[in-house]
Amino acid sequence: MIPATFDYFRPETLDEAAALLAQHGEDAKLLAGGHSLLPSMKLRLAQPRVVIDLGRIPGLNSIRESSGKIVVGAMTTHREIELSSLLAEKCPLLPEVATQIGDVQVRNRGTIGGSLAHADPAADWPAAILALEAEMVVFNRGGERRIAAEEFFVDLFQTAIQPDEILVGIRFPVTSRAVAYSKSAQKASGFAIAGAAVVVHARNRAVRIGITGVSARPYRASATEKGLKGKPLTQEAISAAAVSAADGIDPLNDIHASNEYRRHLALVNTLRALELAASRC
């Protein structure tokens, strides 16, 4: 299908993009990689009057280390993350997740910022964002602000980004190699029916677990984290704690999986990711 008529802008600075967004308000949509917005427009599920393309703004697709954090620009593609030597050394969960997103064509065009802002409940990145306790950096004409990962995802396709704000980057901690991502994927699309990301911190062996695909919004498996607190990551401890991976969660129920099956897959993938991360300690 053909999208409804819209005006197209391609700003060359963040200030220009923010001004356009403030001017057009809810009539405007930001274009990053286009893998979510363009199909929605073609199906007339989204009919923005204005499309603001972020592709020409410099600095939004960088990967760098700054003040002890790894900063990934929002326009960085999944493929750039997959191939980054800096991330492979200092934040290896990100390349591991990137390799499991879609196919090479999708990874070459899709961006981490576009995926996060879209907040699809079956996307892969939210699990890693939560497990890494990342910070999202957003920008408007008043300047920048940061949003903690646990405050960022609000509901189905909803985030804490305000209508006049642009997601410009994500800040990650430097981690050890004791990380892992495991998911059960939809066969056609590769989206997660259930996915679990695990980070084991080297200093105190604290465990952080992010879950995606199971409910309307991604979440931290807090009960499992508490069950492992202060314990060595033995097979017995991991198996006992993983049972709580979907405690207090209302799983989705759709054509891809029932709510009970999703609950089961949350356990299975949490178990697998914990076992793999523990083997890398």
Q: What tens digit of pLDDT does each residue of 85-94 get?
A: 999 999 999 9
CATH 3.30.390.50 placement within the chain: 179-279
The per-residue pLDDT for 188 is 86
Question: May I ask the CATH class of domain 63-173?
Answer: alpha beta
- Tell me the pLDDT tens digit for each residue of 7-57: 999 999 999 999 999 999 899 999 999 888 998 999 998 999 999 999 999
pLDDT-derived band of residue 204, with 50, 70 and 90 as boundaries?
Answer: confident
pLDDT-derived band of residue 99, with 50, 70 and 90 as boundaries?
Answer: very high
The per-residue pLDDT for 250 is 96
Q: For 47-116, give the DSSP string.
A: --SEEEE-TT-TTTT-EEEETTEEEEETT-BHHHHHH-HHHHHH-THHHHHHTTSS-HHHHHH-BHHHHH
CATH 3.30.465.10 placement within the chain: 63-173
CATH 3.30.43.10 placement within the chain: 7-53
Which CATH code for domain 179-279?
A: 3.30.390.50
In this structure, which topology does domain 7-53 adopt according to CATH? 3.30.43
- The structure tokens 């004791």 sit at 178
* Single pTM value for the model: 0.95
Q: Does residue 203 register a pLDDT over 90?
A: no
The per-residue pLDDT for 35 is 84
| Average pLDDT score, the chain | 96
